Copies of this chain bind each other. A is one copy, B any other.
């Protein structure tokens, strides 16, 4: 096992990695920008090194500074956390070239999954369904109709040169396709200077469901079930839960088996997540995250497996100490991302925390680097705390969530706690009746 790990990150995730190291008897090195000199992970780490000024490109993204810090402190491995350099294949390769262990997947797997087109091709090759579409552009109505029949209605007509949703049309049947194809082609020409379009299955109310996986790099794969991360605003997840409230056992087994088989085939190492859209009983791969995720704690709560500890063990070459059949997923877990943001306008709210009191008691976990008097810097992302609750049932979990949100005090700055409080009593959320568009609508309703 490693003697000393450098944590190339900040905030709650740096603290999360520190805790896992500490509990394995591994010494920690915190690196930080000048803005984070008083951060919790810096205070708790065995050693700390200031690596640059506040802008992330000069500190948390500064590869030379991070490797120098690892060298001068004698670290033997680097954990990238999430965000920053965590999915940078060149960084992972450079870390290994300099003789340190990279606590994460191989640079090849990071690179493969970092390219969306290559990732989808790999998924298809590994037998994982992706959103069906025409193989290339559809030149005329006959080709479009044949393609749409193969894909299945409704179909989305998209400009090959397009982006940002402009020029997209939804056709629910053949007559609609006949009517909309020329419209889409004309719009494509006028918006993008090229009338070429292609077709894709249209999902109007998908859920975002992802599978948490761990690989030992030797073909051994363990999955920790799925997470439903459909509650998103501006593509930012706000609340995640496991298990997904609408998936049935057969769907769950099919998807987890598919995901595990694919990663076994790849020989994947470390923690990773396959993300899917789910609608009407069908799953479609969208991307793979080759890193730890913000929402990993809910999978830990239901499985009892410490994912960061597993990452450390795997990076040190240790085999899994258990099999898939030893993994029991018990109860229900929810994570609320608490951001330093106004809960109505979502404007960032950096500043001094004047009161801090996290909730406690049975089934409540708080992953946060906040403390009373901490100054939330304006330079980085606004996630300041993750409130994770676990219960034997989804209902118990929801009741506990409300109780914990009621106890949580963060003074001096705006946070999304009031939004989570509204969410925790919203009928559609309670019923599990939501898709990836629902939260956008919910937050735009008057409180």
Contact = CB atoms under 8 A, between A and B. Distances in A.
Interface in A385-439: 392, 396, 399-400, 402-403, 406-407
B355 A399 contact: no
A25 interface: yes
Interface stretch (A124-132, A178-186, A240-248, A360-368): A360-368
A355 B330 contact: no
A371 B399 contact: no
A365 B360 contact: yes
A358 B197 CA distance: 57
Interface in A276-308: 297, 300, 304, 306
Contacts of A331: 304
A371 B400 contact: no
Contacts of A300: 362
A140 interface: no
Contact of A355 (B372, B402, B407): B372
A304 B333 CA distance: 13
B371 A357 contact: yes
Contact of A358 (B44, B330, B355, B360): B360
Chain copies in the assembly?
Answer: 2
A337 interface: no
Contacts of A111: none
A252 interface: no
Interface in A94-115: none
B362 A365 contact: yes
Contacts of A367: 360-361
Interface in A339-363: 355-358, 360-363
Nearest to A24: B399
A336 to B, nearest CB: 14
A116 interface: no
A67 to B, nearest CB: 27
A227 interface: no
Given A355-B372, A357-B372, A372-B357, A297 B362 contact: yes
A5 to B, nearest CB: 14
Interface stretch (A15-23, A159-167, A210-218): A15-23
A25 B400 CA distance: 10
Nearest to A21: B403
B360 A44 contact: no
Nearest to A398: B23
Q: Which of A24, A362, A372 has the most CB of B within 10 A?
A: A362
A304 B15 CA distance: 26
Given A358-B360, A360-B365, 5 more contacts: A19-B403, A297-B362, A356-B357, A357-B371, A361-B366
16 contacts: A19-B361, A19-B403, A22-B403, A23-B400, A23-B403, A24-B399, A25-B399, A300-B362, A304-B331, A304-B392, A306-B363, A355-B372, A356-B372, A357-B371, A358-B358, A358-B360
